[in-house]
Structure 1
């Protein structure tokens, strides 16, 4: 049984929002609905007048400039220390420990052995044997020279270290120059090959080669079905005929239900 015609038990009462006639924006609403009180530290006018604001500003300014000056002096001292250390390192000869020196000697000797020819192996072995024989004196002479020539040994070690470092720098520089030369040659070769390819690929500039005016066939030229969807409209355009008997709908209806 329907209840559409039955009266409501509690009829609708009118409210303020029943049929509003006024529209308010959110920006027009009251934003400050509570009274603000003075917080601790917010002095009144009497306390503010008692303060010496000019003196506070001058003290803050002096503190700022003092901090800037201290930072600038610290930066200057650090720069001066770095420059002094660089100058000292340039003037002082490089000092290496015995293990590092032995490794550098072994590395230089390995590089020298790689650069030597195979025909000079016997001569190099004889020279190494003679050098070892000379570098190993007798025990008595070694004891005497050790007590007398400590300063000379230190200076000789420093000279050998400096010479070794110079030799290493020379070898590194030569290898870098060789690598740069190879890179330059490789770049020139690639550029020349690219230029030849560009000149040969253009038929207008390829005067020395054979002239071929044939057009290359596409990879799908020999397919069976080709251009099947050309000039085919799946959605025929609708037309309007101001005649009920000759309209498309009437003809379709007659063909479907009469014939």
Structure 2
């Protein structure tokens, strides 16, 4: 079947899946980006899938993320967790490709995303290999930051890189997560700067250097995430400890 028809059917079904109307701009963007160029199998099915070892979010999850992010035209946007590049392509439709920066801790996925974005006409999106916990300070401040991985609290480096009245959207929590928006500036309110909650979420934890699938595993003696360096261990990925002896947790 024509991919354009499948794409129309996919977006038409999202309102029923989400139980609410899509933001009009998100609707148009998702009808435009050729998802089958990023996802080889079941590209237009509303389910998570895996491509080249990377999790690809279901279309309904992507729609939820961008509805929460609420970017305006020409906003400077950072996508943390580029993956295959699909989310960055949707962002490019919303704010313009030259306004989108995407980072991923996996060099292999960075190359993958660059290739797919270039093939689909979004070569203006900048994709770089970075530790997402550190953000992308060279291109800050950002009006919008989308973190496609869970964290216990808003990563401080990302919050620091928000423009005045900027917004960070990410799944907050450990095993139990909630999709939240954190804002900077005078409108910020609530614990950890959370200004809005968008219901339950289920994401993998944000990785730091040394945890990526295609990198060398190592023991850590210093936490890269300064806000977690005095917390106790509870996750296999080592979200919240100063030191992990991986041999003990295999």
TM-score calculated relative to the size of structure 2: 0.16
1 or 2 for the larger relative contact order (CA 8 Å, sep ≥6)?
1
Rg (Cα) greater in structure: 1
Question: Which structure carries more helix by proportion?
Answer: 1
TM-score calculated relative to the size of structure 1: 0.15
